[in-house]
Amino acid sequence: MPKKILFVCLGNICRSPAAEGVFKQKVRDRDLEKLFVVDSAGTGGWHVGNLADPRMRETALLRGIELTSRSRKIEESDLFEFDYILVMDKDNLVDVKSLIKDHMDKIHPKVKLILSYSKKFNLEEVPDPYYGGQDGFDKVLDLLDDAIDGLIDSLID
Ligand code: 4NP
């Protein structure tokens, strides 16, 4: 059975689609595609149906990563469907956990900060790049590149 991974941020147009794209590229490069199902979602619904932010798409494309996902809002059923729910910041953590009223003991351990898998960076959160400059988008990819290596290593152990 493939492991099911869901990346979550606020708008699902910057950080979590980037995480989805980085993850997909890494498992493709390592010939591990059959082992995983991956998706992303937002805790907010403002951008539902939209492609990722053009700044995030361009920054990813410069690293050879094409972001093709469309924004969707996380639903309570996602928390049962996915095995790992990896969020970008502590607000996402609170928002995702607040979706679940029952079975908290089963769901809460699945929900983790993606940077808990980081090897090189001593940071807890992937900063929201939406209102900032280009450096924020590069930083998102630097952080995710490292943390997703750590995540994949831990999942294939
Ligand atoms: P994301 O970034 O959570 O990384 O997708 C954001 C995108 C949009 C908004 C906030 C954050 N917004 O307020 O519309």
Which residue of 7, 8, 14, 70 sits with most ligand 1 atoms within 8 Å of its CB, as the best mutation to test the pocket?
14
Q: Is 55 a catalytic residue?
A: no
For position 104, what pLDDT does the model report? Answer: 86
How far, in Å, CA of 127 to CA of 89, rounded? 7
For position 101, what pLDDT does the model report? Answer: 86
How far, in Å, CA of 20 to CA of 55, rounded? 16
For position 64, what pLDDT does the model report? Answer: 97
Q: Please answer whether residues 26 and 133 qualify as being in contact, where contact means their C-beta atoms are separated by less than 8 angstroms.
A: no
Q: Averaged in consecutive runs of 10 residues, what is the pLDDT profile of the chain (157 residues)?
A: 98 98 98 98 98 98 98 97 98 96 89 98 98 98 98 94
* Domains contained in the chain, CATH given: 3-156 (3.40.50.2300)
Helix (H, G, I), strand (E, B) or coil at 94: helix
Expressed in angstroms and rounded, the spacing between residue 43 Cα and the centre of ligand 1 is 10
| Structure tokens belonging to residue 151 | 């995540």
CA dihedral 11→12→16→22, nearest 10 degrees, is -140
Q: Note the pTM of the prediction, 2 decimals.
A: 0.98
Question: Which ligand 1 atom lies nearest to the CA of residue 10?
Answer: 3
